[in-house]
């Protein structure tokens, strides 16, 4: 029932997107809901021609640029592109190191298809989280996980906590994709919420001043 509900929601919400996206995201959802795997692993199974990992191929600036472009395309709104990466994100050291490794600069080798791929990754991850909350009847702690519109959710995060934290959330989607095969037991529902340790602006200010 959840799959068919989400399929109709996708047809309505993303009706203006051309290409194979609507079919692709439904394949991701099918893997998540029927194979009981994580959204990140479902992405690997759906997009078999994608790179095994994106970190290093894309940097935080690429994620920010994708965010700015999609918000402008969807709402005609130009966001302030100033983005100051977190210096000490309150996440495990492995994640923090991966974040800092792509916090500045640009990739040495650029594949223009990677921008479209990570936008699809962000959208599919958002839709899959929404479906899992419906499946498990859980209430997300983050209100944006109730948004039908992925770009609308990004815009809300930007409005409430700013560019740096919005990009950090996008980074976490890419990180989970890269590490999908490392997790034997996929988290879902509120377990995914529990992994969201994005620092608040005040916490970041405290870390900069300490």
List 55's β-bridge partners, or say none.
58
State the greatest distance between any 2 C-alpha atoms of the chain, in Å, as a whole number.
51
Please state, in angstroms and rounded to a whole number, the distance separating the CA atoms of residues 174 and 120. Answer: 11
Q: Note whether 34 and 27 are within 8 A (CB).
A: no
Question: What are the sequence ranges of the domains in the chain?
Answer: 2-209
Q: Please, are residues 148 and 130 in contact by the beta-carbon 8 Å criterion?
A: yes
pTM of the model: 0.84
Q: Tell me the pLDDT of the chain (210 aa) as tens digits.
A: 899 999 999 999 999 998 999 999 999 999 999 999 999 999 999 999 999 999 999 999 999 999 999 999 999 999 999 999 999 998 999 999 999 999 998 887 789 899 999 999 999 999 999 999 999 988 877 777 778 789 999 999 999 999 999 999 999 999 999 999 886 444 444 444 444 444 444 444 444 444
What does the block give as tokens for 101? 């490794």
Q: Are 131 and 2 in contact (CB under 8 A)?
A: yes
């Amino acid at each position: 029932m959840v799959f068919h509900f989400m399929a109709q929601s996708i047809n309505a919400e993303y009706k203006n997107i051309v290409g194979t996206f609507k079919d692709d995201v439904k394949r991701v959802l099918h893997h998540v809901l029927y194979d009981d795997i994580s959204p990140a692993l479902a992405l690997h199974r759906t997009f078999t021609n994608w790179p095994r990992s994106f970190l290093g191929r894309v940097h935080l600036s690429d994620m920010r640029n994708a965010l700015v472009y999609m918000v402008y395309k969807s709402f005609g709104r130009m966001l302030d592109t100033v983005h100051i990466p977190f210096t000490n994100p309150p996440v495990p050291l492995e994640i923090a190191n991966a974040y800092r490794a792509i916090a500045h600069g640009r990739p040495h080798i650029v594949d223009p298809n990677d921008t479209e791929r990570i936008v699809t990754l962000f959208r599919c991850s958002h839709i899959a989280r929404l479906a899992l909350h419906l499946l498990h009847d859980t209430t997300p702690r983050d209100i944006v996980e109730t948004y039908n519109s992925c770009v609308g959710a990004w815009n809300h995060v930007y409005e409430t906590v700013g560019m740096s934290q919005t990009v950090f959330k996008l980074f976490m989607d890419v990180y989970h994709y890269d590490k999908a095969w490392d997790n034997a037991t996929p988290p879902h529902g509120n377990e995914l919420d529990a992994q969201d340790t994005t620092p608040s602006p005040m916490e970041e200010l405290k870390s900069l001043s300490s």
